[in-house]
Structure 1
Amino acid sequence: MPLVEFTALLVLATAMSFTPGPNTTLSTALAANRGLPAAMRFVVAVPVGWSLLLLLCAAGLGAAVVAVPPLRWAIKALGIGYLLWLAFKLAQSPRLGEADASRLSVGFWQGVALQFVNIKAWLLALTIVAGWIIGKDDGAARLGIVLPVMLVFAFTSNLTYAALGALLRHWLARGRRLLWFNRAMAAVLVATALWMVAA
């Protein structure tokens, strides 16, 4: 892969991975509510799920999703519904003691599955497959470069946001700060869902 293309990939990966979205919002909220160790299952699940999505898009699933509007709409509807459900659960955790597994928990497999209804993840996977892999003579070699790079970015961005949430944990324990933090994070998820409706 030429250096100019690799540099463009790094710029895209940075912009898409480190800007707020469903994954980074949940990483922050999980760590703020339940601590960094509890958030790590989700932090690890994001790159695993996204890698599976990228591989499936490279194998042709992306083209099928683009070509079949009902499939696109189903993915979008599931994604919107799941984000709204997570926002509802998040908005209901007013104190650290109440942010237990019954209220706010996104496990490893849920985190993997979330990538398949995350429009931002689909946009990134489809963009990378179309721009860096499909139609190139060295497509398989390019996939071998792109996949580990994106794994690192997905893990690092979510770990960074989770670490931020964990750093805020002690401060959020006072008064009603956690309630307002959770409502703000829920609002980000709702805004993402609204963006998905408009997209």
Structure 2
Amino acid sequence: MPLVEFTALLVLATAMSFTPGPNTTLSTALAANRGLPAAMRFVVAVPVGWSLLLLLCAAGLGAMVVAMPPLRWAIKALGIGYLLWLAWRLAQSASLSEADASRLSVGFWQGVLLQFVNIKAWLLALTIVAGWVLGHEDMPMRLAVVLPVMLAFAFGSNFTYAALGALLRHWLARGRRLLWFNRGMAAILVLTAFWMAAS
């Protein structure tokens, strides 16, 4: 892969991975509510799920989804519903003890499956497959370069947001700070769901 293309991939990966979205919002909220160790299952699930999505898009799933509007709408509806459900659960958690009692828990497999209903993940996977992988003679080699780069960015961005959430944990434990933090995170998820509905 030429250096210019690789540099463009790094710029896209940075912009898409580190801007707020469902994954980074949940990473932050999970770590703030339940601690960094509890959030790590989700942090690791994001790159695993996203890599599976990228590989399936490269194998033709992306073209099928683009060609079938009812399937696109089903993915979008599931994603919106799931984000709204997570936002509602998050907005109800007012104390660390409530969060520890599993009011807010997103496990590894939920994190993997979230990637398949996350419109931002689909947009990135389709863009990368169309721009950097398909239509090139060295497609397997390009995929071998793209996949680890995107794995590293997906893990790095979610770990960074989770670490920030963990740093805020003790400060949020005082008074009603956690409730307002959780409601703010829930609002971001709701706005993301509205963005998904409009896109």
Question: Which residue of structure 2 lines up, in the alignment, with residue 96 of structure 1?
Answer: 96
2:136 is the alignment partner of 1:136:
yes
Give the partner amino acid of 1:177.
R
Q: Which residue in 2 is equivalent to 1:39? A: 39
2:126 corresponds to: 126
Deviations 1:61-112 (A, max 9, x none): 0000000000000000000000000000000000111112430000000000
Please give the alpha-carbon distance, in whole angstroms, between the structure 2 residues aligned to 1:25 and 1:123.
Answer: 18
**Matched residues in 1 for 2:86 and 2:182: separation?**
11
The DSSP-based 3-state class of the residue aligned with 2:104 is: coil
* Residue identity (%): 87
Q: Shift of the alpha carbon at 1:162?
A: 0.1
**Which has the higher mean CA deviation after the structures are superposed, 99-108 or 181-190?**
99-108
Could you say which residue in structure 2 is the equivalent of 1:10? 10
Write the distance in 2 (CA, Å) between the matches of 1:6 and 1:119: 24
Matches within 5 A, 1:52-67: 52-67=52-67
3-state DSSP class of the match of 1:113? helix
RMSD of the alignment, in Å? 0.5
Q: What runs of 5+ residues in structure 2 fail to find an aligned partner?
A: none
Task: Say yes or no: does 1:79 pair with 2:79.
Answer: yes
TM-score (norm 2): 0.99
Structure-1 separation of matches of 2:33 and 2:100: 8
Residues 1:185 and 2:160 are matched in the alignment: no
**Alignment correspondent of 1:22:** 22
C-alpha distance in 1 between matches for 2:101 and 2:63? 38
Q: Residue type matched to 1:78 in 2?
A: L
* 1:15-41 Cα shifts (integer Å, max 9, x gaps): 000000000000000000000000000
Q: In 1, Cα distance between the equivalents of 2:138 and 2:43?
A: 31
Could you list the runs of 4 or more consecutive aligned residues of structure 1 that deviate by over 6 angstroms after TM superposition?
A: none
